[in-house]
Amino acid sequence: MRGMGLISNDELVVRLLLTGYRGLVRPALFTSASGDPEEIHSQVIALLSELPDALIQRIQSLLGARRNPIEVAGIRFPGRVGVAAGLDKDGAAARSWAALGFAFAELGTVTAHAQPGNRQPRIFRLPHSHAIINRMGFNNAGVEALAARLDQWGVKRGRNMLDGPIGVSIGKTKVTPIDQATEDYLFSLRTIAPYADYVAINVSSPNTPQLRSLQARDLLSELTGALVNAARELAPADPVPIFVKLAPDLSAHDLAGLIEVCEETGVSGLVATNTTTAREFLHPSELHLASQAGGLSGAPLTRKALRMVEATANRTQLPIMGVGGIMTPADAQAFFDAGALLVQLYTGFIFNGPALVRGINTLTLPDRARR
């Protein structure tokens, strides 16, 4: 039928949603709040956090076409596409993500202590490159505030109170010395473990000084070993799964060492990847922004993140969540084909809205390469 120029109902719905978002919603969003990307982000999260239950259910009936359920690390995911860490740092909008078609949400990154993050301006939108540069610096209200919010909603690990698994990304508090990082992460893990279906260890953000040094073999072994052991002590019969988030800028040698450590210490899975410090594939009109410090996400990251997923899958049987530059359903399909079992969105969602979520849910074949 496609050879005759016909498209499926699913393709038609995605095209209509994408046209509406790009033609109406995105221009209005990008020009609101004097065009300040961080303020716009805050306003959208606030709006999503205040949606009444009846409206959430109505939106979900229109957009929430989740498909291809899978069990990963003992967790049942009702679909394959989730919210990436950074989009909803403090979990304010956690009740609304399923309505937009997301099968799970990774909240955070949160830290042991509340912190304001780096100085503003700290986020830069590159519309011609379909990209974002951010140097947020783990601005968040602290892990205890997130735990209190989830507790108020009755969220507990495994209860599916928000219509999909809830992951939580934890990072090091900026003022904590690197030699005290393990205790810092342990506090966050012990605080959030009763509420999180999995915990992702963020050692790959480029926006906290020395954080990426925790990817070094000895430091990572100490950190992941302590966290996995703590998870087992907290719930011996069913410890919370621990994932590790990788940088896209790792060398093949460093990636091999990192994977070996994760396997040795009992990590449950990997998130590939974080933002990149590279500045490849920028539109010529936006090269002047290349000097801005921070991590680059969006379309310029797609190829690098995809290569990292493929390299990781070729070295380990640990399950992989693919993230980084997924801007189209075809990108998501490439990540699935490379070995990712799940994918996450941030920048792609900002540029393409719920149409992208719907497209991945309805137009991809996540298990095609494994058949």
d(CA 215, CA 355): 35
d(CA 41, CA 47): 10
Spatial contact of 320 and 341, defined as CB atoms under 8 Å apart: yes
C-beta atoms surrounding 48 within 10 Å: 19
Phi first, then psi: give them for residue 284, nearest 5 degrees.
-50, -35
Q: Which two tokens stand for residue 323?
A: 């993230």
Could you give the dihedral angle defined by the CA atoms of residues 91, 87, 25 and 14, in that order, rounded to the nearest 10 degrees? -100
Is 291 marked active-site? no
d(CA 170, CA 231): 14
Q: Which two tokens stand for residue 335?
A: 């990540």
- Helices 302-313 & 329-338 angle (0-180, nearest 10): 20
The active-site residue out of 96, 205, 268, 297 is 205
Q: Which two tokens stand for residue 339?
A: 């070995």
Helices (H), the chain: 9-20, 26-31, 37-49, 53-63, 143-152, 181-192, 217-234, 252-265, 302-313, 329-338, 347-363
Tokens 């399950």 locate to 319
Spatial contact of 84 and 344, defined as CB atoms under 8 Å apart: yes
C-beta atoms surrounding 190 within 10 Å: 17
- The catalytic residue positions are 205
